[in-house]
């Protein structure tokens, strides 16, 4: 399973990269705005910096919602770096844009996926990734993992060359459950990735080993 970090914060991206387990980065307009990035030049420069830190797929989301505008925006984003993946919302014009980019060989990630039908449409249109939003479904008492399971079954039935990128991750258990179900990728905040490290028996055991190591010196 690939690990992407879900942030536009450069320090957190560097920290995850330094850990040696990072395969890519996802951003969205909310995450970019949180870092105070605005204006085309600053946005493009920020994506270029992320691409220079991480050698993997970097999702950059279009800000527009009409077909023509998404095409223009996506083509410009794709020029920033070969690892840019154009992130397109799951709307009618978005599906058309996915097909356009697929035909042109530009990688895409279809975002805001909340149903198996949406994922199927995106895969048919040639999306490289679909992003089901696990946490946001759990937030409204709908089982987000169940959706990922359904998408896994559908994609396997037809051998779709589209990766399931589990998004809106809220906890280390989300990551573990996604791995059990067979999501291809998880994109997570840094905290949930780091929380995978923790176990009290590891801390206890290490304290004992360190104490005994002192005796051996």
The catalytic residues are 87
- Other CB atoms within a 10 A radius of the CB of residue 117 amount to 12
Residue 111 interacts with ligand E4P (CB under 6 A): yes or no: yes
Six token digits for residue 55: 């050698």
Interaction mask 63-102, ligand E4P, x per CB under 6 A: ----------------------------------------
- Give the CA distances from residue 1 to residues 62, 128, 148, 183, in Å, rounded to whole numbers and listed in that order: 26, 15, 14, 7
Separation CA 47–CA 58 (nearest Å): 8
By CB under 6 A, is residue 192 in contact with ligand E4P? no
Tell me the closest approach of the beta carbon of residue 79 to ligand E4P, in angstroms.
21
Report in angstroms how near the CB of residue 81 gets to ligand E4P at its nearest. Answer: 18
What is the largest distance, in Å, between two alpha-carbon atoms of the chain? 71
Size of the residue set binding ligand E4P (CB under 6 A): 11
Stretch near ligand E4P under the rule CB under 6 A, chosen from 14-22, 36-44, 78-86, 131-139: 131-139
Under rule CB under 6 A, which residues in 8-67 are in contact with ligand E4P?
26, 28
Rule CB under 6 A: is residue 129 a binding residue for ligand E4P?
no
167 binding ligand E4P? (CB under 6 A)? yes
Under rule CB under 6 A, residue 6 binds ligand E4P:
yes
CB closer to ligand E4P, 124 vs 136: 136
Q: Which is nearer to ligand E4P, 99 or 136 (CB)?
A: 136
Read off φ and ψ for residue 26, nearest 5 degrees. -120, 145
- The contact set with ligand E4P (CB under 6 A) reads 6, 26, 28, 111, 131, 133, 135-136, 167-168, 187
């Amino acid at each position: 399973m690939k690990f992407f970090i879900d942030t536009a914060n450069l320090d957190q991206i560097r920290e995850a990269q330094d850990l040696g387990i990072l395969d890519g980065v996802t951003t969205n307009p909310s995450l970019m705005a949180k870092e105070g990035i605005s204006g085309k030049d600053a946005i493009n420069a920020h994506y270029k910096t992320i691409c220079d830190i991480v050698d993997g797929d970097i999702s950059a989301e279009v800000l527009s919602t009409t077909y023509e505008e998404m095409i223009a925006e996506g083509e410009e984003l794709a020029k920033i770096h070969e690892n840019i993946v154009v992130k397109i919302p799951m709307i009618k014009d978005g599906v058309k844009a996915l097909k356009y980019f697929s035909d042109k060989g530009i990688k895409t990630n279809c975002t805001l996926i909340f149903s198996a039908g949406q994922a199927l449409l995106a895969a048919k249109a040639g999306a490289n990734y679909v992003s089901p939003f696990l946490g946001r479904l759990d937030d409204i008492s709908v089982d987000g993992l169940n959706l990922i399971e359904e998408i896994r079954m559908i994609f396997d039935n037809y051998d779709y060359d589209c990766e399931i990128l589990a998004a809106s991750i809220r906890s280390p258990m989300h990551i573990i459950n996604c791995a059990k179900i067979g999501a291809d990728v998880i994109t997570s905040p840094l905290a949930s990735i780091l929380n995978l490290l923790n176990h009290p028996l590891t801390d206890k055991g290490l304290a004992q080993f360190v104490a005994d190591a002192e005796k051996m010196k």
